[in-house]
A and B are shown apart, each in its own frame.
Chain A
Amino acid sequence: AQSVTQLGSHVSVSEGALVLLRCNYSSSVPPYLFWYVQYPNQGLQLLLKYTSAATLVKGINGFEAEFKKSETSFHLTKPSAHMSDAAEYFCAVSDTSYDKVIFGPGTSLSVIP
């Protein structure tokens, strides 16, 4: 069965510092992987996706993630945090393009001025 774990329910970084949000998945087949962001009282916005092409995926707002099959990881990074990055981040996995998406529990990112 698919599952997603996100290490750290809350992460705090200083403005301008590196952002690293961790995600590990389990899947019986090569998966599709996603990172979504959710701002307070809003829906989910797709940051980036991995669909078996390049292992380093670039997304919106300067975020990127690297798919590492040997580690079953898909960590999200951003070189320099901005105040506007403060939000809830969800890692998600699906087995096929039409399959249900399984979400991790989320990581709340705080950015300290």
Chain B
Amino acid sequence: DAGVTQSPTHLIKTRGQQVTLRCSPKSGHDTVSWYQQALGQGPQFIFQYYEEEERQRGNFPDRFSGHQFPNYSSELNVNALLLGDSALYLCASSSPSRKGSYEQYFGPGTRLTVT
């Protein structure tokens, strides 16, 4: 059973550019959450997708947007990149509708460097 997968592993972009990160959830999971982890900090919640809609959002600007596809995979898009967007971006999947399922399973992350 494959866990949560993310692509690409590493990415280098220039300020002002746009980037798309991808995530495939664990088999049987229907909810995808995205987190930003700056160096030396805990992950910060960006947003969560369920049934192809954004269900919750953290304190991130509109430059951060996302999408969920019918197969539950998800994309995170960041426009007009800033140096401060450099971080590890983590995707997590879960299945809250399944009784007794509470935890989120995390992928290995995508390391984004903005120069």
Contact = CB atoms under 8 A, between A and B. Distances in A.
A49 B55 CA distance: 23
Interface stretch (B11-19, B61-69, B73-81, B98-106): B98-106
B103 A90 contact: no
A104 B109 CA distance: 18
A28 interface: no
Contacts of A36: 106
B8 to A, nearest CB: 14
A90 B42 contact: yes
B4 to A, nearest CB: 8
Nearest to B40: A106
Contact of B106 (A45, A94, A97): A45
B41 A106 contact: yes
A1 B20 CA distance: 31
A87 interface: no
A103 interface: yes
Contacts of B35: 103
B84 to A, nearest CB: 18
Most buried by A among B40, B41, B43, B90: B43
Interface of A: 4, 32, 34, 36, 42-46, 49, 51, 90, 92, 94, 96-106
Contacts of B105: 46
Contacts of A104: 42
Contacts of A102: 45
Contacts of A32: 102
Contact of A44 (B41, B43, B56, B58): B43
A105 B106 contact: no
A76 to B, nearest CB: 15
Nearest to B105: A46
Contact of A98 (B58, B90, B92, B96): B96
